[in-house]
Amino acid sequence: MKKILILDFDGTLADTRGLIVKTMQQTIAEMQLPERTDEECAAMIGLPLSKTFTTLLPIDAETGARCAETYRRVFDENNQPGVVPLFPNVAETLKELHQQGVTITIASSRSRASLMGFVEEFGFVDLVSLVLGADDVKEAKPHPEPVLQTLRQMGFEPEEAIVVGDTWYDIEMGRRAGAKTVGVTFGNGTREQMLEHGADYIVDDFAQLKDVVFSE
């Protein structure tokens, strides 16, 4: 049976935590908002930008939108080539899965332009068949729309899909779409949260994804 992987980006493929937290802290300081710890900022990774700030801080939607604009500007300043590394075994595993005929896609709360920049930087252009960003959907994760839209565009059924992510948002999104779900433990979420939300598999190394894909 044909297979499609729908991959999160931050905390799943690449270790963006340091860059994201630094940018969030600089945004909060520039906007003169109440201080938050690095851990509190990291816990928001995976949410759309505006919702990140309205969840993290006692602010209204308009202020959240201004925070998002500031964040994007500061992020672009901070995001220099080489700042964000891939997690171990990501590149090799994606290449092998692609060679085995698995369709590889990305669905993230990050903007499409930002995602495409990373896809090009990491040399994944020929491996990734579809990139879906926050600006491509009306409803962000944990809503199932990113998965359902990916399946429609690529011509797959939910039972042919495996959603991979590092937070419960990813697991919930995949589960609600009817796909199998895999949680990775090296990102920003916790094993316990992902299991509570119904993760079918938990892996500690990205290379273990090969076993999951070929066991389904």
Active-site positions read 8, 10
Report DSSP state, residue 175: H
Amino acid at position 201, single letter: Y
Closest CA to 141 of 10, 54, 46: 46
Q: How many CB atoms lie within 10 A of CB 101?
A: 8
Three-state secondary structure of 41-81: HHCCECECHHHHHHHHCCCCHHHHHHHHHHHHHHHHHHCCC
Residue whose entry in the numeric block shows the structure tokens 């909060």: 28
Q: Locate 103 and state its tokens.
A: 């369709």
Q: How far apart are the first and last CA of the chain?
A: 9
